[in-house]
Amino acid sequence: MEMTRSLVTPKERVLTAFAREEPDRVPINYFANPGIDGRLKAHFGLDAGDDEGLLQSLGVDFRSVGAPYVGPRLHPELPDRRVDPCWGVRTRYVEHESGGYWDYCDFPLRGATLEEVEAWPMPSPDDYDYAAIRDTCERGWDYAIVAGGAGLPDVINATGMIRTMEQVMIDLITDDPVFLRYVERKSTILLEVTRRALEAAQGGIDVLWLGEDLGTQRGPLISPKLYRKHIKPWHQAFAALGNEYGIPVVIHSCGSSSWAFEDFIEIGINVVDTLQPEAKDMAPAYLKARYGDRLAFHGCVSTAGPLAYGSVDDVVADVRQTLAAMMPGGGYALSPTHQIQDNTPTENVVAMYEAARQYGRYD
């Protein structure tokens, strides 16, 4: 007997949408900063550490999995800093009126030589706990299990975190061998870690998630020529891995990035995430009309729009307008464009998810 829409699991819902078909309702995802995350847990009467309880309360269809690093600390701790034990990226805490965040600082490879990059400690793919992945997949079997994220491989941002963004822009234009070698070393490791994670999951991973911010609010961050020369080959390598395992490949890209969508399609990317509606050529109706027959979409609810600055009614109207543009024919998952920021009213976030569940149904 054919399964009715009322029996669709979150996994089936996501995979149907990412195949550009209509599930029972639009899938839902969640990203948030610690401040608003804590307020949402308090709103639902949950303990501060109850991440799963919050995802269930919001109706989130996605769960994430990864192989934890279990090797030695490669970069020493420093006073007043967070130091990534694997990659050596440093951050310092900056307070603001609605909370705070860890901002990148020091940039230890800003003026590095090729020899220094060769000697820079990086993790071995052997130093990750792949055995934990299968157990995690089984615990969340009915959900869409995601491997990767916005930081994979994230050539521009992730390298900017350790060399400065200004230097990375120069590196791209000048074909700087220091930059190219750093990217090659890191991306090769990440590719192998991702491959081993997919193998360990034994079919339990449903989606491979990549990331690369390619737009400002007004246009491309870099030229298409530079993208195709230095970054697209790495995207293609990761996308090919997802295609090899027969799972949809999503790419996160901030800002006005639709200029790169044809390249994404060419290399086997199936879904585009973020979709800041206020950026140039990123309006939901425009994206759906131009690319909806070849790409699925994830995002569209701006964290810098009504969600943060409007009323509950404004949020509901924004969600309904987004759904009206993106829902027809399937191919859409509703999500905030970025992590919901701490200045966002709790009631607005609750209203967003309630509206998504109420108005995002196909039956």
Rounded Cα gap, residues 61 and 31, in angstroms: 12
> pLDDT by residue (tens digit) across 188-205?
999 999 999 999 999 999
Neighbours of 162 (CB within 10 A): 24
Query: pLDDT by residue (tens digit) across 307-336?
Result: 999 999 999 999 999 999 999 999 999 999
Its pTM stands at 0.96
User: What's the full length of the chain, in residues?
Assistant: 363
DSSP, collapsed to helix, strand or coil, labels residue 13 as: helix
- Give residue 6's pLDDT: 55
Report how far residue 314's alpha carbon sits from residue 348's, in angstroms, rounded to the nearest whole number.
9
Residue 2's pLDDT is 42
Tell me the residue type at 246. G
pLDDT of residue 139: 85
Q: What is the mean pLDDT of the chain?
A: 96
Q: Which residues of the chain have pLDDT under 50?
A: 1-4
User: Quick one: 176 exposed, middle or buried, by C-beta within 10 A (0-12, 13-18, 19+)?
Assistant: middle
Write a three-state SS string for 58-108: HCCCEEEECCCECCCCCCCCCCCCEECCCCCCEEEEEEECCEEEEEEECCC
Closest to 298 (Cα-Cα) out of 318, 324, 329, 270: 270
Which residues share a beta bridge with 65? 147
**Residue pLDDT, tens place only, 3-25:** 445 579 999 999 999 999 999 99
Rounded (5°) CA angle 109-114-117: 45
Q: Name the nearest CA neighbour of 298 among 264, 267, 266.
A: 264
Mind listing the domains of the chain with CATH numbers?
Answer: 5-78+122-359 (3.20.20.210)
Count other Cβ atoms within 10 Å, centred on residue 239: 22
Helix ranges, the chain (H): 10-18, 34-43, 51-58, 114-119, 131-139, 155-163, 165-174, 177-201, 224-226, 232-244, 261-266, 284-291, 306-309, 312-326, 346-359
pLDDT of residue 7: 77
